[in-house]
Amino acid sequence: MKLVIESLGFPSALAGKPVALPLPVSIANVQKVFALDGRLLDPAAGKLIRRVATSLTGYIENHLCPAVTLERLLRQGAGAADAA
């Protein structure tokens, strides 16, 4: 991944774009961590998964949602914010 990003050149094609790589989640013996019905059996793995999910949703709420609202305002005018 690092090589791909470095090969984009300067200025990067990613300039001005929100780019993030969520923390990786590596769970050894996943078949022992989850029951056949999908229930989580390992609280430590659940904590790790929740941390990554919280980080990702926080990024979306803080960076993507305000940008979409700003884009809507710019495209549709101030009344668009009231409709949201």
Each domain of the chain, given as residue ranges in start order, spans 23-83
Q: Using the 8-state DSSP alphabet, how is residue 64 labeled? A: I
Tell me the mean pLDDT in the region 54-73: 77
| Residue 40 bridge partners (DSSP) | 34
| Greater model confidence, 44 or 11 | 44
Given this model, what pLDDT does residue 53 score?
Answer: 84
| Greater model confidence, 65 or 40 | 40
User: Per-residue DSSP letters for 62-80?
Assistant: IIIHHHHHHHHHHHH-THH
